[in-house]
Structure 1
Amino acid sequence: MGWAHAAVLGLLQGLPEFLPVSSSAHLRVFSALMGWPDPGAAFTAVTQLGTETAVLIYFRKDIASIISAWTAALYRPERRKDPDAQMGWFVIVGTLPIGVLGAAFQDTIETSLRDLRITGTALVVFGLLLALADRSRAIRYPRPITELTWPHALIYGCAQSLALIPGVSRSGGTISAGLFLGYSREAAARYSFLLAMPAVLASGLLELLKISEGPAPAWGPTLLATAIAFLIGYAAIAWFLKFISHNSFTPFVIYRVILGAALIALVTAGVLSPGAGAAG
């Protein structure tokens, strides 16, 4: 793998990961168009560490408060109503659906759902759902994150599990669910990021376990890609949260629809095969 190749993959790993546009779709499509082979489990695992580190550092204060309060509430009943302690449980409950469904349908996810026609359709359909959710949210009195409930946490989690379908987008699915439930854009996005951390960390650990299955990566380009994924990912989180505090999701919706339609057209025209860009 060359340095330029690694830099582009690092960019594609870091930028779309936290935006509602589907990072898996971008990695698949760009690799297919460029004719690049699967970079391997080792490369994927190490570069994912970059994006994971970005979200952990950005939300370090939130994470520290949640872990501290949740741990204290285990043996101090008076702390159980602490919003941070409750958030710890909400994140755990919200993570269950993607864990259960991911394990139950692993073979289907890694085979038939990798079809680029499904990816293109998911980009368009869930892009339009994001637009509908943004329009239907409670504009006058949007819910803050402090009003999160157990049923809502579970609904968020079910929405996140849809990201097992390439093209849906983890953040796009969870944010759409939050908007439909009446939460503000900022509240929906913040809980989406907090909810994603266990799933992203688990995904990274699974990839790390696969390192021995393939050849060792070129460590120089791999570390470059990891650094780029971290820097771009951190910047993307900061920019995204600031952007949506004053703007709608319309630019992301338009981009998703155009990308999805173009992808379907390329497959239909025979430029790309339905299985192009899938991991080997």
Structure 2
Amino acid sequence: MTAACSSGADTSFVSLGYIKVAWLGVVQGITELLPISSTAHMRIVPALLGWHDPGTAFSAAMQLAALVAVISYFRQDVARLATGSVSAIMQRKFHDAELRLSLWIGLGTLPILFAGAALSPVLNRCASPLRSLTVIGWACIGMACVMALAEISARHRRTVENASLRDAFLVGLAQVGALIPGVSRSGSTLSAALALGFKREEAARFSFLLGIPAIALAGLKELWELHRAGLDVHGWSVLAVGLLTASIAAFAAIWALMSVLERFSAWPFVIYRGVLGIFLLVMIARGSLG
């Protein structure tokens, strides 16, 4: 199947071939879990290399690689929440801490589900205006400011275990910002958790645990859309290569992020995002990028 837009799904990534998609998988895997926006980099890197945009379908499907890394890294948390919740329901202990946190995570996922459904016609169409490099540049700068304010105001006292429904809703609401390319799901939710007083590593932990349902649903939905679009065996094999390289890269990315947050702060990411946004806007103004 050649690069095309069909049935609303952008399958243009297929024409990039195995090698290019493998490299983009590495980029996606690293940037999906760092607070620097994978969507932004999936537009910027191809543009700088003279490749065409792989499209929203590719970016969304690649989130499944990040999902594997998150579940593996936080496997003890995930297993405890799953088994604890099931046990609490069986024993009718509806005030159980694990069950309560699982419910908060589920409810915190609702904002992005509704917003994603509402914006889907714009976000998922070919050549979506929201994927323009100008939008991404301003989004990078805006989120750099938001992350900086979150770091300045953060108290770093709270843990995930004492998270409330209000916390889950506010972090879930922040997750909606990730629908705009350049914002970053990790960046928006991490900033919200920091602003709510969570310790840096706990803010990242809360961000990733709350993101599991949204990442899984977005990735699986996009696989279904690609199936409906009639993606052939060659197309699926190209996508599989991207998923493989993205999975390996995502493991390294999540380890690096937790190490940075535990030992330093989010400032390296703030600086990177600000510089990246300014660079993009300058390159666009000079006509070097379109």
Fold in common (TM above 0.5): yes
Give the conservation status (yes or no) of the 8 Å contact 1:98–1:157. yes
Partner in structure 1 of residue 100 of structure 2: 86
Give the conservation status (yes or no) of the 8 Å contact 1:163–1:173. yes
Partner in structure 2 of residue 97 of structure 1: 111
Which stretch has the larger CA shift, 261-270 or 176-185? 261-270
Q: Which residue of 139, 142, 147 maps to 1:122?
A: 139
Partner in structure 1 of residue 262 of structure 2: 245
Letter in 2 for 1:13: Q
Which stretch has the larger CA shift, 90-99 or 111-120? 111-120
Compared with structure 1, are the counterparts of its residues 137 and 40 closer, same or farther at alpha carbon in structure 2 (3 Å cutoff)?
A: closer
Compared with structure 1, are the counterparts of its residues 267 and 196 closer, same or farther at alpha carbon in structure 2 (3 Å cutoff)?
A: same
- Residue-by-residue CA offset, 1:43-101 (whole Å, 9 max, x unaligned): 556644322222222222211211122223334233x3332211101110110100011
Return the alpha-carbon distance in structure 1 between the equivalents of residues 99 and 238 of structure 2.
41
- Residue-by-residue CA offset, 1:205-239 (whole Å, 9 max, x unaligned): 11111223154345665443322211110121122
TM-score, normalising length: structure 1 = 0.88
How many corresponding residue pairs? Answer: 270
Partner in structure 1 of residue 155 of structure 2: 138
Partner in structure 1 of residue 249 of structure 2: 232
Give the conservation status (yes or no) of the 8 Å contact 2:47–2:53. no
Which stretch has the larger CA shift, 151-160 or 262-271? 262-271
Q: Name stretches of at least 5 consecutive residues in structure 1 with no aligned partner.
A: 274-280
Compared with structure 1, are the counterparts of its residues 153 and 62 closer, same or farther at alpha carbon in structure 2 (3 Å cutoff)?
A: same
Which stretch has the larger CA shift, 262-271 or 211-220? 211-220
CA deviation after TM superposition for structure 1 residue 144, in Å:
1.4
Partner in structure 1 of residue 38 of structure 2: 23
Query: Which structure is higher in RCO with an 8 Å CA cutoff and minimum separation 6?
Result: 1
Compared with structure 1, are the counterparts of its residues 55 and 227 closer, same or farther at alpha carbon in structure 2 (3 Å cutoff)?
A: same
Partner in structure 2 of residue 191 of structure 1: 206
- Give percent identity, aligned residues only: 39
Compared with structure 1, are the counterparts of its residues 202 and 64 closer, same or farther at alpha carbon in structure 2 (3 Å cutoff)?
A: same
Correspondences of 1:1-80 after superposition (within 5 Å): 1-39=16-54, 47-78=62-93, 80=94
CA deviation after TM superposition for structure 1 residue 180, in Å:
0.8
- What is the root-mean-square deviation of aligned Cα atoms in Å? 2.1
Q: Which residue of 156, 159, 162 maps to 2:174?
A: 159
Give the conservation status (yes or no) of the 8 Å contact 2:42–2:59. no
CA deviation after TM superposition for structure 1 residue 38, in Å:
4.2
Which stretch has the larger CA shift, 12-21 or 105-114? 105-114
Which stretch has the larger CA shift, 7-16 or 47-56? 47-56
CA deviation after TM superposition for structure 1 residue 4, in Å:
3.2
Correspondences of 1:174-213 after superposition (within 5 Å): 174-212=189-227, 213=229
Give the conservation status (yes or no) of the 8 Å contact 1:102–1:164. yes
Return the alpha-carbon distance in structure 2 between the equivalents of residues 6 and 76 of structure 1.
48
Letter in 2 for 1:257: G
Compared with structure 1, are the counterparts of its residues 237 and 45 closer, same or farther at alpha carbon in structure 2 (3 Å cutoff)?
A: same
Q: Name stretches of at least 5 consecutive residues in structure 2 with no aligned partner.
A: 1-15
> Secondary structure of 2:289's partner?
coil
Q: Does 1:268 align with 2:285?
A: yes
Letter in 2 for 1:239: A
Return the alpha-carbon distance in structure 2 between the equivalents of residues 243 and 125 of structure 1.
22
Partner in structure 1 of residue 10 of structure 2: none
Give the conservation status (yes or no) of the 8 Å contact 1:42–1:214. no
Give the conservation status (yes or no) of the 8 Å contact 1:41–1:210. no
CA deviation after TM superposition for structure 1 residue 20, in Å:
0.4
Compared with structure 1, are the counterparts of its residues 91 and 4 closer, same or farther at alpha carbon in structure 2 (3 Å cutoff)?
A: same
TM-score, normalising length: structure 2 = 0.86
Give the conservation status (yes or no) of the 8 Å contact 1:41–1:211. no
Compared with structure 1, are the counterparts of its residues 192 and 218 closer, same or farther at alpha carbon in structure 2 (3 Å cutoff)?
A: same
